[in-house]
Structure 1
Amino acid sequence: MRGRDLCLMAAYHQLYIMDHAAVEIAAERWSTDDLVRKAVFGGDHLIVFTARAMDVPLRVEVLPEAPPLELTGWDHIVDGAFRAGAGSAIVMGCMDHEPDAARLPLAPGVYRARVSMAGLDSLSEDGLDGEDRYRVQLWPGPWQAVRVRRMHEPEAG
């Protein structure tokens, strides 16, 4: 397993993982379902919608095979797929400068992707502070439709 821990500015509540050769990501292609799922699997890109528009922790893991599904400790989990073709993926916040963004070596091919989120109910009243955290796991596998494994239900307050 290869893992990378990052702290990224989630401007507009968005983090991107995209193939190095990906073209521009257009917001108008997002559906209400994508927003509810808190993730967009767009072929050559993956967008994670975060709880805060601040610096947030993201762990990206590249695995040789499917990991076991861990429900404990995660508020929201969604699976999909991602295509890498250029030998690396870019990991960045949506307002980051792409040439300075983190690079993740990936052999060309299709990867299954699991996005897990925790601490979504830990935000301060102003939404600036919190203990939210995010993990993206990638492993080689066939293309699959998006599947929500656990849906976050905000605490009543």
Structure 2
Amino acid sequence: MITSEFKLFADFFQFLVQDEWSAGVDGDLWTEDAMRARLARGVDAFAVRTARNMHVPVEVLVNNKPPKLDLSSWDHVVELSIDLPSGRLVVAGCSDYLPEAERLVLDKGHYQARVLYSNLDSVYSDGLDGDDRYRVELWKGDAKPLKVLKEFVV
């Protein structure tokens, strides 16, 4: 298992998870459904909508199989897939300089992904302070559609 922790600047209330060769997430992908899912996705990239427009903690776990899931521990949970043709996963704030962003070296191919959000209700109305946290779990698997397993409603 690979575990990495990041403190990302969630400029525009989002951070990116993408293949190194990806063109990223186009703003047009932020549809009404994507806003409700708190995640906009392409084939080889996705953007996670955060509760704050500041630095947020992000944990990335890469495993051989899907980790056990306890929905009661999380406010919002989304599953999807991502293609990693380069085998290099970039995790960055959306305004970071991507050539210098951290990378995780993984096997090339399709991955299942689960994005988990916690403490979303801890964010103050100014959108600056809070104890929100984000986890991205990845494991090898086939492409599949986005599915919201638990929805946080404000």
Question: Could you tell me the TM-score, scaled by structure 1's length?
Answer: 0.94
Structure 1 segments of 4 or more deviating over 2 A?
none
How large is the RMSD of aligned CA atoms in angstroms?
Answer: 1.0
**Aligned-residue identity in percent:** 37
TM-superposed deviation, 1:112: 0.3
1:79 and 2:70 aligned: no
Aligned twin of 1:151: 151
CA distance in 1, matches of 2:128, 2:29: 28
In the TM superposition, what are the counterparts of 1:72-111 in structure 2 within 5 Å? 72-111=72-111
SS at match of 2:142: coil
Task: Give the letter aligned to residue 29 of structure 1.
Answer: L
In the TM superposition, what are the counterparts of 1:49-88 in structure 2 within 5 Å? 49-88=49-88
Structure 2 residues not aligned, in runs of 5+: none
1:140 and 2:140 aligned: yes
Cα 1:7–1:152, aligned 2, differ >3 Å: closer, same or farther?
A: same
CA distance in 2, matches of 1:24, 1:122: 29
CA distance in 2, matches of 1:41, 1:139: 17
CA distance in 2, matches of 1:100, 1:120: 29
Q: CA offsets per residue over residues 13-69 of structure 1, 9 Å max, x none?
A: 111011011124310132110110001231110110000010000001111011112
Task: Give the letter aligned to residue 129 of structure 1.
Answer: D
Q: CA offsets per residue over residues 132-154 of structure 1, 9 Å max, x none?
A: 00000000011111111100022
Aligned twin of 1:35: 35
- Which has more helix, going by share of residues? 2
Task: Give the letter aligned to residue 12 of structure 1.
Answer: F
Aligned residues of 2:24 and 2:45 also touching (Cα < 8 A): no
CA distance in 2, matches of 1:65, 1:56: 26
Aligned twin of 1:6: 6
